[in-house]
Amino acid sequence: MNVFPLKFRKNADESLIFADDAGGFFKSDVHFLERYATGRMDGADMDFLARNGHAFVEPDDLAYTSFAYRWAQRLYQPSGLDYVILVPTLRCNLSCGYCQVSRVNEGTPGFDWTVHTEKAVIQFLDGLSTESLRIEFQGGEPLLALDILKRVRNFCRDRFEKSEFVVCTNLQDVSEEAWEFLADSDTFISTSLDANRETHQQQRTGTKTKNDEFFANLRRAIRSFGKEKVSALPTLDVRALPSPGSIIDSFTEHGLHSIYLRPVNYQGFARKRFLAKSAGAEWNAFHARFIDALIEYNWEAMNPVEEYYLVHCLRRVLRSGHHGHADLRNPNILGRSYVVIDYDGSLYPTDEARMVTRIGQLDLSVGHILTGIEVDKIDALNAEASNTFHPDCVHCPYQAYCGVDLVDDLSRYGRIDLPKHMTDFCQRHIYMFDKVFELLYSDDPKVRKSLAYWVGAPEFDAGIAKVHR
């Protein structure tokens, strides 16, 4: 019997989490580790490992082939360019200090697509081989370029078998014409709801009057279109964190039951005003308190609530092939499945890369809409886009669930070769997966109710979380 290599990490209770390269995991203790490390495993050890997919008899037997399939399913393979972020304008009607995106004042000329740029964008979209396309309109405030949005949407509806559109709007000032545009079934709203009314006012508008306008528009959007068409994301300042309960209350008050907690990003102009480069420990502690508060809330709730990113990480642990969030793809191939087209026609591999370039830190553009993608620049980035053979990742039990974010490393440190354990990305995800396994092995019925909801199971199966004594 041959055992696939196992990696381990100690828990707070001195137990150990073991995992293999295909993401199979179990919990045991230091006594098993000693037997495994010295080659003195007994029959009970080998029987457990064989039954749970951690061992095989010979290459190409069923156990070996199953392991290889699970390992391959953990790897992300882009199918083609089917997601495009469009930035038709940098003009915005707000000036939020924490905003990561670049913007100019609402009346500033010269920061919208020109006629030539818009025509080139349409030609670019027309040349895509996909029959299903998702467009995300960013800004600035994209509703200030509503005529462009209409023309792009009309073209895509005619050109592709299926098309969807997301408008990333601050929902501050929405004209009746814009409401009519947003009402269509293929068009969705993404906005910011920064925790609670007080925090939102402080970060977004600064005045109660404008704050009232936003909340009135948010209520109208949910009432008119349904909560399924509206997503709201909080962005929080680590130096002024609201209570977890106030965030939960604010979202559930509007019928929103998915909360994606995000600290102020260390990209764009927000880096100049906020403690965002190295506040990982403070953020992780707050996130843990929030998850604990969410579990308490869900125990009595008729409609439970999720924290989007924790649930995504949970599903990454439990399911092969769960690649929905770009940051946790491995390899995180850039420029293949999605691309960003800026207001001036420049192409970027991610929206964060656009921000890094915009502040003059590093040019991460990868071409122009008039001349095409510069393949050499994309290939240079993608050469380091995998954690599979990274010397700092190969010993981590969470490697199969984790990913790579080169742009975040470049933004924070100006380099991509910093030891992983020193990066914000690694520290944040080590905490996140520690929390996932803490919950998976909890016997608390309150935890298990939330887990059942988050994984989509009528009752959470304790057999998922294997333990070897």
Residue 133, SS3 per DSSP: strand
The reported pLDDT for the residue numbered 78 is 86
pLDDT, average across residues 207-219: 90
At residue 463, does pLDDT exceed 70? no
The reported pLDDT for the residue numbered 456 is 86
At residue 457, does pLDDT exceed 90? no
Distances in Å between the Cα of 172 and the Cα atoms of 143, 200, 233 are 10, 12, 15
pLDDT, average across residues 433-461: 90
Helix (H) / strand (E) containing 412: helix 406-413
Looking at per-residue pLDDT, the higher value among 412 and 333 belongs to: 333
Structure pTM?
0.93
Dump pLDDT digits (tens) for 37-69.
999 999 999 999 999 999 999 999 999 999 999
Structural domains of the chain in order of their starting residue, each with its CATH number = 1-73 (no CATH), 83-376 (3.20.20.70)
- HSE, side-chain direction, 13 A CA sphere, residue 44: 6
At residue 462, does pLDDT exceed 70? no
Q: Which amino acid is at 199?
A: T
Average pLDDT value for the chain: 92
The reported pLDDT for the residue numbered 460 is 56
Rounded to whole angstroms, how far apart are CA atoms 400 and 393? Answer: 10
Rounded to whole angstroms, how far apart are CA atoms 223 and 355? Answer: 34
- Give 228's pLDDT tier (boundaries 50, 70, 90): very high
- Give 448's pLDDT tier (boundaries 50, 70, 90): very high
Q: 269-280 in b/e burial notation, b at 16+ Cβ within 10 A? A: bbbeebbbeebb
- Give 138's pLDDT tier (boundaries 50, 70, 90): very high
- Give 270's pLDDT tier (boundaries 50, 70, 90): low
The reported pLDDT for the residue numbered 345 is 97
The reported pLDDT for the residue numbered 411 is 85
pLDDT, average across residues 13-17: 93
Dump pLDDT digits (tens) for 302-325.
999 999 999 999 999 998 888 877
At residue 130, does pLDDT exceed 80? yes
- HSE, side-chain direction, 13 A CA sphere, residue 361: 24
- Give 185's pLDDT tier (boundaries 50, 70, 90): very high
The reported pLDDT for the residue numbered 99 is 72
Indicate the length of the chain as a whole number: 469
119-123, 347-351, 361-365 — which is least confidently predicted?
Answer: 361-365
At residue 265, does pLDDT exceed 90? no
At residue 461, does pLDDT exceed 70? no
Dump pLDDT digits (tens) for 145-164.
999 999 999 999 999 999 99
Phi, psi torsion values for 14, nearest 5 degrees: 75, -5
Dump pLDDT digits (tens) for 109-128.
999 999 999 999 999 999 99
Looking at per-residue pLDDT, the higher value among 202 and 434 belongs to: 434
- Give 294's pLDDT tier (boundaries 50, 70, 90): very high
At residue 206, does pLDDT exceed 90? no
At residue 348, does pLDDT exceed 90? yes
Rounded to whole angstroms, how far apart are CA atoms 115 and 185? Answer: 28
The reported pLDDT for the residue numbered 417 is 87
The reported pLDDT for the residue numbered 208 is 79
Percent with pLDDT over 70 in the chain? 95
Q: 150-164 in b/e burial notation, b at 16+ Cβ within 10 A? A: eebbeebeeebeebb
At residue 429, does pLDDT exceed 90? yes
